[in-house]
Structure 1
């Protein structure tokens, strides 16, 4: 898998192509980052390229302006990031999403690993004409499995809602959540609505929490030598297993 494969899967028209290198000095100067984050950019980023700009004039999909003024999406951007070995990928990805004013689909390469990440943006409540990340960054690794190939096919611009550019970005979020869910259920299925996407994200978080709790309880049970305590731990394990099945059913 490579960043190029993800870009190809998006199926963007030639009018969207930018293919411009973004200097690290420009990131640092405009990012208002803490000293540690500036070092992460300087030391960890091999290259950042602005691959594409998805504008209404290029794709025939309207921009988005929320009636209450909380969100504006005049365009979407696609970036590719190459990181050096040993760098904390998640933090650098978040910094890239923070620094650009429009929603970004970021494709990150680090060695043989490829990650797709997205982050919703909204208007800042304290600074005029400034956008901030709305909620948490969402990311998923992409490899060569059948599920991941289905994910790539689903990313195509032609398969996203064309109501407006915000709907396109929500469609990509839906695809990303669907892949993370598919790694649990074995079935890739996009939700088709933002409400269901949020429910699936909550269920994923709950599933992860319960799996960690179950692993901890099993470890305790294996080490426990007192019979009464073993009985209590086994009862807790059965309870958590049932809760885990319920959480997985919501995926």
Structure 2
């Protein structure tokens, strides 16, 4: 299913690379903790650098300022034996690749797309800092899922800006965030920059509320007092209602 999504991008053959990335390359280029190393060893089956987009392979200019450098865009495919630690795996792959990167992760017939905001490390200009990474839920690109089809259609290069690589990658990032929002709202809409930022704020708030619900449920399991149980259940419901309101506002 990786090829279904990659073919859908409509990239010219000049961008094809098809180079295997060995696990040792990742472990040599980024600090991995014990859980990272286990995920890399047990969960990752194969990583390929499928496409490289740079001025010599596609008619898009590089972009650079004091904070960000978009000399090229890398597209990688990642086959997983297990999907549970996909977000962690995407995180350390983004740290290892010194370019804006589009990850197409696959498990069985399903894929998940990941992008990341990166900036130049001001203390060491030769290094990158991953500010935030984004990962969609798993979906089958060959099905008739409305949101997935709309997302894939919007990712075709004919609809992406060719101004420079920052604009090009930024458009892919916005579409990925719109897909993540669609998983919450049930409806995919390509957002304006203002709407994208609004969705990001809502997704952050949903994550915060979800963590609080988990903490409250843990307390609920431990308490024996009826009054405290009622209070905790009320607080959980309040947060669930807030999540539902945030989700509906992302339509």
TM-score range, shorter chain: 0.7 to 0.9
- In structure 2, the CA distance between the partners of 1:250 and 1:42, relative to structure 1 (3 Å rule), is same
Map of 1:189 onto structure 2: 189
Structure 1 position 196, deviation (Å):
2.7
TM-score by length of 1: 0.82
Please say which structure displays the higher CA radius of gyration.
1
- In structure 2, the CA distance between the partners of 1:31 and 1:233, relative to structure 1 (3 Å rule), is closer
Secondary structure of 1:82's partner? strand
Structure 2 CA distance for aligned equivalents of residues 125 and 139 of structure 1: 26
Are the aligned partners of 1:191 and 1:197 in contact in 2 as well (CA < 8 Å)?
A: yes
Are the aligned partners of 1:85 and 1:111 in contact in 2 as well (CA < 8 Å)?
A: no
User: What whole-Å deviation, never above 9, does each CA across 1:141-165 have from its counterpart, x for those lacking one?
Assistant: 2223121111111111221122211
Map of 1:121 onto structure 2: 118
Map of 1:8 onto structure 2: 7
From 128, 132, 137, the equivalent of 1:136 is: 132
Structure 1 position 127, deviation (Å):
1.9
- In structure 2, the CA distance between the partners of 1:235 and 1:159, relative to structure 1 (3 Å rule), is same
Q: How does 1:61-140 map to 2 (within 5 A)?
A: 61-66=60-65, 69-85=66-82, 88-133=85-130, 135-140=131-136
Which stretches in structure 2 are left out of the alignment for 5+ residues? none
Structure 2 CA distance for aligned equivalents of residues 139 and 105 of structure 1: 10
Q: How does 1:1-251 map to 2 (within 5 A)?
A: 2-66=1-65, 69-85=66-82, 88-133=85-130, 135-140=131-136, 141-143=138-140, 144=143, 145-193=145-193, 195-207=194-206, 209-210=208-209, 243-244=242-243, 246-251=245-250
Secondary structure of 1:43's partner? helix
Structure 2 CA distance for aligned equivalents of residues 92 and 197 of structure 1: 25
Structure 1 CA distance for aligned equivalents of residues 109 and 150 of structure 2: 20
Which stretches in structure 1 are left out of the alignment for 5+ residues? none
Structure 1 position 83, deviation (Å):
1.7
Structure 2 CA distance for aligned equivalents of residues 30 and 250 of structure 1: 41
Alignment coverage as a number of residue pairs: 242
- In structure 2, the CA distance between the partners of 1:18 and 1:246, relative to structure 1 (3 Å rule), is same
Are the aligned partners of 2:174 and 2:196 in contact in 1 as well (CA < 8 Å)?
A: yes
State the Cα RMSD in Å.
Answer: 3.1
Secondary structure of 2:98's partner? coil
Structure 1 position 49, deviation (Å):
0.4
Structure 1 position 179, deviation (Å):
1.4
Are the aligned partners of 2:118 and 2:132 in contact in 1 as well (CA < 8 Å)?
A: no
Structure 1 position 34, deviation (Å):
3.6
Structure 1 position 225, deviation (Å):
10
User: What whole-Å deviation, never above 9, does each CA across 1:14-59 have from its counterpart, x for those lacking one?
Assistant: 1100011112222222234345433432333211100000112322
Structure 2 CA distance for aligned equivalents of residues 86 and 99 of structure 1: 20
TM-score by length of 2: 0.82
